[in-house]
Amino acid sequence: MKAYMCVICGYVYEEEKGDPESGIEPGTKWEDVPMNWVCPDCGAGKEDFEMIEI
């Protein structure tokens, strides 16, 4: 599983954990996260995230 960090605020989306509060189930791959999903901390779009090593 991969992780992606918001370059605006530093929030980390981990595929393993998903974002259940936004309806993204654990195990949801980044490419399967809807394009209209936004960072739960700052509201940035998917285009503002970069893959990181954790």
Feature table: binding site for Fe cation: 6, 9, 39, 42
CA–CA distance, 20 with 48 (Å, rounded to integer): 20
Residue ranges at the known binding site: 6, 9, 39, 42
Contact 46, 6 (CB under 8 A): no
- Cβ atoms of residues 52 and 5 within 8 Å: yes
